[in-house]
Every structure is written in C-alpha cells, then in structure tokens.
Amino acid sequence: MSVVLTGSALSVEQVVAVARAGAAVELEPDALERMRAARSVVAGSLARGEAVYGLSTGVGVRKRAGVGVSEQASFNTRLIRNHLVGQGEPASEDAVRATLLVLANGFARGAGLAGPALAERVVAALNERRHPQVRMLGSLGQADLAPMADLAQGLLGPDGRLEPGEGLALLNNNAFATGLAALAVADLERLLGASLAAGALDLEAFAANLTPLDPAAARERPYEGLTTASAALRVLLDGSALFEPGVSRNLQDPLTFRCLPQVHGAALDALAFGRSQLETELNAAQANPLVDVAGGRILSVGNFDSLPLAAALDVLRIALAPVLTSANERMVKLLQAPLSGLAEGLSEQAGSAEDSLSEFGPAGQALTAEARLLAQPVSFELASSAHAEGIEDRATMAPLSARRLAEMTSLGERIVAIELLVASQAIDLRANRLGTGTQLAYDLVRARLPFKREEDPIPASIEPLRELVRSGELGSPGLLGQRGSAG
C-alpha cells in the first residue's frame, strides 16, 4: 500500500515503511494544488519586484545582493554547488530514503518555494529507488545545508532545471536530521520493548522480590511511563513462581532490580515526548522563507531552527542511559556467585572461569561506557558565531543528536543481547517456573542460542540475539499485554 503524502499526517511507521521496506509514495492531489497556489504567490512577488530572501536576493552575507530574473537558473545551480561541503562517510540507503520522504512531505504543505513538479521529482526518486549519495557530516542543524546540497545535486544532476527559489527550498530544511531521527526513534522503541522483556527475565533469573511491581507503587506515583512499565512487567511475569511465598531470595534486591519499572518508565515517558516532537517535525514547514498563501505574503522566518527536535533527542539519550547501565549492572550481578546464588559465571557446575560466561561482564561494561558517553546533550553547542557577519549565531546540532541516538541504540541492542544470554543461562540453572510472558521471551532466546553446557565454548557471536532485539518480537503484544510495543 502506498504512503500518501498530505503534509500533515506522516508517521514514524510510514517513514520506516518507505525507508526500509520500500513502500511506494504518492502526493495527494490537494498537496499539488497547495504547491501551485504557493508558486502563484511566488510569481506575483517576482512580478512586483519585491525583495525576498533567496528568491530575488542572495543568501547569507549576500542577502543584500539582488538576483535578476535572467540569473535565476544559474543562481539555483550556484547555490547548491556552493553548499557541497559535506564530510565523512555516505549515509545509509534507508537514511537517504527517509530524507527524501521528509523533504517531499514538507513540500506537500504548500508553504514553501517548491512547486509540484519538484515534489514529484523527489517522490519519483523514491519510487524508482534512485538514492543520491549524501555525506553524514557537516550540518549544524540550522537547516541541513550540506547534506541537502548533496541530495539536491544527486537528485537533479548537473543540468537539473529548477524554478526561481527552488534551489533554496531543497537546501533550507531539516529533512536529513528529521529522517535520521525517525529511524532512530523506531529502533529505540524496539530496543525498549526488548529491554523490558530482558529485565523481566533478569527478575526471574535473580529470583527477585516482585513487591516493587505491586500496582500500589505506580498508583501512588502516577507517571504514565511507570504505570505502563509496571503493568507490562506484571503481564510478563504472570504465573511465575516468584509470586509464591518463599521463592524470592531477598527482602530487598539491588536497586537495578528493584527500580526497574521506575527506570524503564522514565524512558517510556521520554519516548512519548520525543515521538510527539518528532511527528510534529515530520509534518512541519521547515523552510525559510515561508509562503503564506492565504495572506498572499512571503515571510522571512526561523522555522529551520530544529531545537524542539534536537532537545527531544537529547532527552531520549539521557533517559536511555540509565536503562542500559541498569541492564549491564543486573547482568554483572547474575554472573557473580555471591550475588546470584548460582555458580560463578553461570557455569553448569562450579567450574573454572574459563568454562563460564564471566567475560561477558567486561564486554558489557565496555559497551555501556561507550553508550553512556553518547548521552551527553549537544543541542546547546555552537562552535562560533562568526559566520555570515554574525547573523547565523546559533545552531541546534540536530543531525548530531539524531546520529548519536542511532549509535547509542545500536550499542544498546548489543547490551540487551548480552543481558538476554546471561539471564537465560541463569534461568536454566535456577530452574524455577517462569511466567507466561517470560517463558515466551526465554523460548525466543533459546531458539537462537542454546544453553551453554560445561564443555561448550562460549557463543561465537551474540548477533542472533541482537537480531531478536531488532526484530521487535520481544516487544510484541503477546509479551507486553495491551500496550503492545510499549518500547
């Protein structure tokens, strides 16, 4: 089924469908009419000789220089070429597709300088799987000028014809950062679903006390995320032997076990906020100048300032960090005999460290250290205010914020994969009855990696479990109850 672009209803799921599954794209007829109406306003402004930034004037420090009608074609070309300053490795195909989609949806609002023919060229590139090479680095997030110049050059070719102002329309937006963010948030949702299931397996593996999951705790501290996480954990653990008297080992467990619903709940609250900000940005006119069709005006604005998105992505990383550090701490405690009550390193018998999973502890700690460093906020960074005679004196670093979320989520997938491996080994050694949901999660793990017997080598790769985390199966409705992919 095609994704129909209206300029107002693009979702994260649709971005994933187009970027990763190759779903077809089309523009709704009303969107084409809105763009025609906007171009009519542009034509009127040009005919009246009005000074409009990037349309009848230069840009940046050359905003005082006029651009005549005869110069429009060459101005568009020069503008794009002058911003081909991107650095680094090429973006992935799915990132480029997400960027094209966000760009086309922004055009569909009919509030910028882009006409319907340009929007249709962007959509055609998606449907024909023509993906320009876009370099990852070089944008401050105050419009993604460098990556969008790469995209424009590849999309149009050296002689691509554009209408007046359309060169700026291709550059002056945050489609690159927004597309990256949509993919990162989708991956984060799956990671949080898997992490919650892994946390429930940790509780089983540790023979933890389940009183922190009592509904009274969430009722008296009514955060939505806490309520959701606590309820989902109860669904996962329903039927577990841990609900029976005398099965739990401790009156109070370490904080990373006891505070699992609070930590995960905070991440779910951050996710809800981040997703809301992102979906607003997916359906926003990010351009400058802005065409007010109803008023027949063209306005210089600051809608390219992507702080609402960049700050939300910072919040997501900050909230993810405790989820990952807690997961690693639980995993390490399961490996330590004095804390778990099981054999050191979860050996089948009390053997040597060489026959155990002990070395996954330092591996997880290394991954967690890297992930924690990526949580540092970046949306207040500004290297210099000297550009464009001091006019361009702030930046959001939205592409960096999105890229760091993607990198942190990727590390998180590996951390949770190790957590699943260790928890499942401990569950086998503990041999208590699992809950309905934790049994399903355990079975998904064991379908990919078997129990490690004393004579077996450690798993050569945790990639099968990482793929399980990425698949979303651990966050399915069958495991998490009504909320479904609560992460």
Mean local confidence (pLDDT), 453-481: 84
pLDDT tens for each residue of 24-62? 999 999 999 999 999 999 999 998 988 888 788 868 656
Is the per-residue pLDDT at 75 higher than 70? yes
How far from 296 is each of 40, 67, 312, CA to CA, in Å? 9, 21, 34
Q: What is the pTM of this model?
A: 0.94
The answer on pLDDT for 383 being more than 80 is: no
- pLDDT score recorded for residue 487: 31
Distance CA(485)–CA(487), nearest Å, equals 5
Asked if residues 195 and 176 have their Cβ atoms less than 8 Å apart, the reply is: no
Q: What is the reported pLDDT for 70? A: 64
Q: pLDDT > 90: what percent of the chain?
A: 81
Instruction: Show Cβ contacts of residue 238 under 8 Å, excluding neighbours closer than 6 positions.
Output: 435, 436, 437
- Domains of the chain, first to last: 3-173 (1.10.275.10), 182-483 (1.20.200.10)
Residue range 136-192, pLDDT digits in tens: 999 999 899 999 999 999 998 766 789 999 999 999 999 999 999 999 999 999 999
pLDDT greater than 50 at residue 243 = yes
Residue 357's nearest CA partner among 449, 471, 431 is 449
SS3 320: helix
- For residues 105-115, give the mean pLDDT: 97
Q: Is the pLDDT of residue 342 over 60?
A: yes
In the chain, the percentage of residues whose pLDDT exceeds 70 is 92
Q: Per residue in 268-308, pLDDT tens?
A: 999 999 999 999 999 999 989 999 999 999 999 999 999 99
Task: Give the lowest-confidence range in 6-10, 68-72, 202-206, 233-237.
Answer: 68-72
Q: How far apart are CA 94 and CA 125, in angstroms?
A: 13
pLDDT over 50 (residue 232) = yes
| Amino acid (one-letter) located at 482 | Q
Q: Count how many residues are written for the chain.
A: 487
Instruction: Please report which confidence band the pLDDT of residue 475 belongs to, taking 50, 70 and 90 as the band edges.
Output: confident
- Summary mean pLDDT of the chain: 92
